Amino acid sequence: MIQITLPDGSKREFEQAVSVADVAHAIAPSLAKAALAGKIGTTTGETKLVDTSYIIDKDTSLAIVTAKDPEGLDLIRHSTAHLLAYAVKSLFPEAQVTIGPVIDNGFYYDFSYKRPFTPEDLEKIEKKMHELAKKDEKVVREEWLRDDAVAFFKEQGENYKAEIIASIPANETISLYREGDFIDLCRGPHVPSTGKLKVFKLMKVAGAYWRGDAKNEMLQRIYGTAWATKEEQQAYLTMLEEAERRDHRKLGRDLDLFHFQDEAPGLIFWHPKGWKIWQQVEQYMRQVYIDNGYQEVKAPQILDLSLWKKTGHWDNYKENMFTTESENREYGLKPMNCPGHVQIYNAGLHSYRELPIRYGEFGQCHRNEPSGSLHGMMRVRGFTQDDGHIFCTEDQLLTECANFTALLQKVYKDFGFTEVLYKIATRPEKRIGSDEIWDKAEKALMESLHQSHCEYEISPGEGAFYGPKIEYTLKDAIGRHWQCGTIQVDFSMPVRLGAEYVDADDQRKTPVMLHRAILGSLERFIGMLIENHAGAMPPWLSPEQAVICPISEQFNDYAQALCDQFKARGFRVSADLRNEKITRKIRENSLQKVPYILVVGEKEREAQGVAVRARGNVDLGIMPVEEFMARLADDVKYRRDIQTA
């Protein structure tokens, strides 16, 4: 008798081995129809996903996975990637398939083919996918010997697939999945039949090097999206349309904020208006430093390679570093600020009474990112971090981490982000330091989030090579997630670089070093702000807070006098004195997303006031100048968006 425990704690007994699909049918025929996979218990207490055809021959726990479950959506996307490959091979038999993983909101598959796929090809492929899905062919798992699988794919002309299989150890089971005439390598699981795949769309084609190496062949990567329902897919496509409208690269051009050019790949040319936004962000963060006990410092841009070798960066990060030479010495252009801050700390001997010591720097960093990964301000080669490092005792560790989380929440709220997600990234395979140190560091981060009453997820193996970290992720106005701030616990680098303090017993000890950033890259954060606000910055961040528009040239003197008055009070205000119609001035300044347009004519001059139009063409009527100044001052003081009432 086999006993199966269901998620609600109830148990089902079967006289003989039974498939996941059979169990689902025994529970309810409707559940069997909706079943995509099963989630069974393992001997280690964990769970694993299996096909509905998987045979259960001993006592275990089981949950039936449907499209309503997160795992179900991943299964749909994974299986749709294989359906894409099936369709491509049906239409273009000479194409070779490589890999096709699930990604956020969809999937992709890489192909080798003699010519580029066109938009018309994508339409044909998507149509073919729907035809294959409607056939509702079973997706069947097969297990092969490795060498047999290699020989089979070579015979089929699938050299990339044969290469992948040949790299698998000989004693491992090779699982292949067959649907109709198509067979592909995959660990699985997959949906039970192609008819489960109903809602998908191919998005675009891009280039991708085989195995990510520029020395290899350039493949064609077809991206797609897949969902459980049409409504979910339409919501996603609508979000993409809105994201395109908000694209910071487009808005950067339209609003004259910054630009990029080929002579400086991955680097930004800031225009005056864009640099004003930068200054507001930096000045705000500088005040955060002051208010929270940070001492601002500045470390050199280049350091001798010997120092980068001591820290472990050269062994673990050298492929991302720019280097230079002078007088037979090699230097590394800093990709991060931490080694420099340790040198500042080491310049004097510190007592335990001084700890924690908090350093902050707006540090210019450079990283040799692959050109294919560069993406506007979101992925650059030169950037500035609001970087900070805290030197503390182990006893102070939890308090510092918890206080940082509270500070970060306030800062994000001021910038308009109220929803924060928390993840703890644990030890990667390539790392420095003992397991005991990593245990201690990971435990401290988890406990700090418990103390802050924050729920969190674990990201296994995603920590930095020198320590685990908390990753703080923001949700923007259209529902996208942006990983932003971090705090990392580092027991290793202070030891490597000889950082010490004198404890209460007059003994020298090594401090714990916390690497922390709130905004991370200022460039990337400003890109996020531009997209979050669709370029319509709140007054405290806006390059121009108001524009004064006289209705004719005879009121230019009044407009200029007002402009001077506003500037004397510290506001960013300009006067549009062009000899243009007032309607054109209003329209063009509205397109520049200025928070307030102040129209002045005879009535306004006589009343010593301004006619106020808030962004969005909201008419707020005539206000005395002082009343509007007070309103704008409150917008800035409370970091709020424009008030339309």
Q: Which residues are annotated as a binding site?
A: 338, 389, 515
**Number of Cβ atoms within 10 Å of the Cβ of 275:** 14
Contact predicate 480/446, CB 8 Å: no
H-helix or E-strand spanning residue 180: none
Taken in order 551, 556, 562, 568, the sign of the CA dihedral is positive
- Could you list the active site residues? 338, 367, 385, 387, 389, 469, 515
Query: What span, in angstroms and rounded, lies between the C-alpha atoms of 587 and 613?
Result: 11
Picking from 231, 147, 225, 141, the residue whose alpha carbon sits closest to that of residue 188 is 141
Query: What span, in angstroms and rounded, lies between the C-alpha atoms of 596 and 590?
Result: 9
Query: What span, in angstroms and rounded, lies between the C-alpha atoms of 598 and 586?
Result: 9
Say how many Å lie between the first and final Cα of the chain, rounded. Answer: 72
Provide the annotated binding site for Zn(2+): 338, 389, 515
What is the DSSP-derived secondary structure letter of residue 51? -
Query: What span, in angstroms and rounded, lies between the C-alpha atoms of 539 and 370?
Result: 37
Query: What span, in angstroms and rounded, lies between the C-alpha atoms of 296 and 287?
Result: 10
Where are the alpha helices (H) located in 48-105, listed in sequence order? 70-91
Q: Could you tell me which residues are beta bridge partners of residue 208?
A: 219
Query: What span, in angstroms and rounded, lies between the C-alpha atoms of 450 and 460?
Result: 19
Q: To which residue do tokens 């685990």 refer?
A: 468
Query: What span, in angstroms and rounded, lies between the C-alpha atoms of 614 and 626?
Result: 17
Report the chain's C-alpha Rg in angstroms. Answer: 30
Phi, psi (degrees; rounded to nearest 5) at 101: -85, 170
Q: What is the 3-state secondary structure of 361-398?
A: EEEEEECCCCHHHCECCCECCEEEEEEEEEEECHHHHH
Residues 53-79 as b or e (16 or more Cβ within 10 Å = b): bbebeeebbbbbbbbebebbbbbbbbb
The DSSP result for 212-277, as a single string, is G-TTSPEEEEEEEEEESSHHHHHHHHHHHHHHHHH-HHHHHHHTT-EE--TTSTT--EE-HHHHHH
Q: Is 66 helix (H, G, I), strand (E, B) or coil?
A: coil
Contact predicate 445/297, CB 8 Å: no
Q: Is 124 helix (H, G, I), strand (E, B) or coil?
A: helix
